[in-house]
Structure 1
Amino acid sequence: MVDSERGRRRKYCKRSCRQRAYEQRTLVEGTSIPEDALILSPAEAQDLGDRMFLLRCAAEDLSTAISERADQESLGDLAAELLRLAQEAERLR
């Protein structure tokens, strides 16, 4: 057994992540905000909304192309763009 496999599993990847979690918990302490809430600034919320809109548009484009029987290359390009936008949308900055 390797030393890193002994004991409790790490909850945080590094000390700075543990510190950010502590700061988050203390910020919401005594409020009605749930401890596991994700708090976004107005700019972050707008950016997330914009990324979701682009993702929906790409999905609609792919759906339209499928219904219009687009060629495989076009469908592949649209699917690749949809995947790229989905990966970008899932990241919180």
Structure 2
Amino acid sequence: MTAASRKPVSCLWCGRELASAEIGRRRRYCRQSCRQRAYEQRNAVKGTSIPTDAVVLTADAASALTDRIFEVRCAAEDIASAVAEDADRSVLTALADRLVALARDAERFR
């Protein structure tokens, strides 16, 4: 399989899209700092009952993620309302662009 035919891969720590490598092993992290944070996370849960692939969030981070998901739902409802009201294409385009931006923001939870 060539690098061009591979689907985009995201950093396992922060979720940013990784540049495809032409040769060698596929990258798992976008930066050394993300690799280091992942290492620290794996070592922090070693010897506990917490699974190594668990994501531990503070209450504030969990609340912020919930807020971002709510914004995505509201933006989707705005699009549905605009379609039902036969809104202009430019309005729909603007609403769709906003939805995509909110969804991208919600994907990054770290």
Query: TM tier, shorter chain?
Result: 0.7 to 0.9
Match of 1:57 in 2: 74
2:55 pairs with one of 38, 45, 50: 38
Residue pairs, 1:61-80, within 5 angstroms: 61-80=78-97
Bigger mean CA offset, 12-21 vs 75-84: 12-21
Relative to structure 1, the CA distance from residue 60 to residue 22 in structure 2 (aligned partners, 3 Å threshold; closer, same or farther) is: same
Question: When the two structures are superposed, what TM-score results if normalisation uses the length of structure 1?
Answer: 0.81
Aligned residue type for 1:54: E
1:29, CA displacement in angstroms?
Answer: 1.2
Do residues 28 (structure 1) and 45 (structure 2) align? Answer: yes
Match of 1:19 in 2: 36
Q: Which runs of 5+ in 1 are unaligned?
A: none
Match of 1:86 in 2: 103
Structure 1 vs Structure 2: percent identity of aligned residues? 55
CA RMSD of aligned residues (A): 1.9
Matches of 1:77 and 1:62, distance apart in 2: 9
Number of aligned positions between the proteins: 89
Relative to structure 1, the CA distance from residue 80 to residue 10 in structure 2 (aligned partners, 3 Å threshold; closer, same or farther) is: closer
Q: Which runs of 4+ in 1 moved over 6 A?
A: none
1:54, CA displacement in angstroms?
Answer: 0.5
